[in-house]
Chain A
Amino acid sequence: MTENKRNKPELNYYILFENYTHGLALEKLLKGEGIPARIAPTPRSIQGELSCGMSLLIKEENIDAVRECLERHKPKYHSIVEMECQINPNRNVFC
């Protein structure tokens, strides 16, 4: 799951927000434009001062469309963080 066909690590993008109202508004906007985005709990390592809460998880192949949409609509968001895909269904570490 962590590597794509070119054997490079897959990248994920997290859009962070100051509050969930901004997050839900952007989710709606992206959905309206047909751009895939999923609500996800923000990984603690990139939360910073924002504490725990929602982010929007964007796959690598969709980030350009997202950036273009952000440029056009100027919705409120805090930042976009790029990170190697941390999702690993075979880790078997629960909480």
Chain B
Amino acid sequence: MSDYVKMWEDLGMDLETHDALCQVLPTAFGDVYLSQENRPEGMGFWDFVVSEIHGIRPSELIEAQKNGQKVFGTFCVYVPDEVVIAANGIVTGLCGGSQFWVPGGEKVLPKNTCPLIKASVGARLDRTCPFFRIADIYVGENTCDGKKKAYEILAEDVPMHVMDVPQMKRPEDIERWAHEIEIFAGVVEEQTGNKVTVEKLNEAIKIINNKRKALKRVYDARKADKLPISGKDALLMMQIAFFDDPVRCAEMCNKLADELEQRIADGVSVFPEGTKRILLTGTPLAIPNWKLHHIIETSGAAVVCEEMCTGTRYFENLVDEEQTTLEGQYKALAERYMKNNCACFTPNEGRIDDIIRLAKEYKVDGVIDVNLKFCSIYDTEGFFVERALKEAGIPVLGIETDYTDSDAEQLKTRVEAFIEMLG
């Protein structure tokens, strides 16, 4: 383990500040995760990854860099991993889910910026996230004003490429996104020194599709009447999927899904019968943001699905694997990624349809629309989300929160009242 300290030193990290995170993480993980009974055996893999969270994957990435591979740090589910993998690059998620990093971001960003952006910028500038030290290049996207401007600040410190995500979903916007992907492929080729070929891209498309299918299998198990896995555990799997090698990720998720399917067949549940089923919708929950799941699942309900970027948006819809030209492949990628319903689009009715559909598929009793503080696009879209759910007769609770603990008790009271209301 002391090897990790040496590695962090070599990465130029602020060890003293980073140690503060090492102190709180085991306690929080114990309270949230290890307090659960009868967890699937397969979760051992993710418990292991969390135990070594800033050590094991970073050391793999550094090894890969020694062998000439390049690491691309990404912030958003709109950036197509397939293109990077086709050029033998590696994609990694970045730190951004803890209050620990927020003050660092507030040094340069307005206070009324969402905590995800503040934490990401703080993690880089304060040198407390190994992933933010390792990546060779960072790939941003203009999915909100806060990020757009934050990337300009980050670009003074790190190499950045920003993808121009269209803000509407007309056919010409999909064409434009295909062109953006082509431009990105050029950046990837330049960075890696490897060509993106039809064969390589086809292989990469299959790798990421397989990962999506594996994640979906775990989610499908959450549709069962008797829930074989908690929402917290499924969230952890999803959060770590952004950091792991995609082939290993698929393998571990499939293994977990095997166990969950067996549990369903055996009638094993991690919740008592009659536990209320909640769908979460809204802004992403980056690791280690486990707050709302924990509050819900210690208040007599279970989270059965997340209509979020750290949820269904990450794995729903596959990329067509039958294309035989790069042009066709970029178009196929664009079509798949443009099916993601982010609040940055106008209009964004597809998201409302998704929420209603998922509420039925996962047989939910109620929906919680949760948005990170100062995320104006999701907050505003909440108007339509809540109205549509009310019209569909599905109870809904709107929550705005951040990464701090200060509102935990208040949230618990509101969530408990909502669950009680579900009858």
Q: Which residues of A contact B (CB under 8 A)?
A: 1, 18-20, 24, 27, 31, 38-44, 47, 49-55, 57, 86-95
Does the CB pair A51–B5 fall under 8 Å?
Answer: yes
Given A52-B26, A57-B34, A95:B288 Cβ within 8 A: yes
What are 27 pairs between A and B in contact, CB < 8 Å?
A18-B1, A19-B1, A20-B52, A20-B56, A24-B48, A38-B47, A39-B44, A39-B51, A41-B25, A41-B29, A41-B30, A41-B51, A43-B26, A51-B22, A52-B1, A52-B55, A53-B4, A53-B52, A86-B27, A88-B31, A89-B35, A89-B294, A90-B298, A92-B405, A93-B27, A94-B32, A94-B408
Q: Tell me the smallest distance from the CB of A43 to a CB of chain B, in Å.
A: 5
Query: Total contacts A to B, CB within 8 angstroms?
Result: 117
Does the CB pair A93–B31 fall under 8 Å?
Answer: yes
Does the CB pair B52–A40 fall under 8 Å?
Answer: no
Does the CB pair A42–B44 fall under 8 Å?
Answer: no
Does the CB pair A53–B98 fall under 8 Å?
Answer: no
Q: Does chain A have a CB within 8 A of B67?
A: no
Q: How large is the interface on B (under 10, 10 to 19, 20 to 34, 35 or more residues)?
A: 35 or more
- The secondary structure that dominates the B interface is helix
Does the CB pair B1–A51 fall under 8 Å?
Answer: yes
Given A50-B2, A53-B55, A87:B48 Cβ within 8 A: no
Q: Does chain A have a CB within 8 A of B176?
A: no
4 cross-chain pairs, A with B, having the tightest CB-CB distances, nearest first: A54-B51, A41-B26, A89-B35, A92-B408
Q: Which residues of chain B are within 8 angstroms of A51 by Cβ–Cβ distance? A: 1-2, 4-5, 22
Does the CB pair B34–A53 fall under 8 Å?
Answer: no
Q: Does chain A have a CB within 8 A of B337?
A: no
Known: A24-B48, A53-B51, A94-B32. 19 other contacts (CB 8 A): A20-B48, A31-B41, A38-B44, A39-B44, A39-B51, A40-B51, A50-B1, A51-B2, A52-B22, A54-B51, A54-B52, A57-B34, A87-B34, A89-B35, A94-B99, A94-B291, A94-B408, A95-B28, A95-B98
Q: Tell me the smallest distance from the CB of B65 to a CB of chain A, in Å.
A: 21
Q: Looking at the complex, which one of A20, A92, A95 makes contact with B409 (CB distance below 8 Å)? A: A92
Given A20-B48, A39-B47, A94:B26 Cβ within 8 A: no
Residue of B nearest to A91 (CB): B31
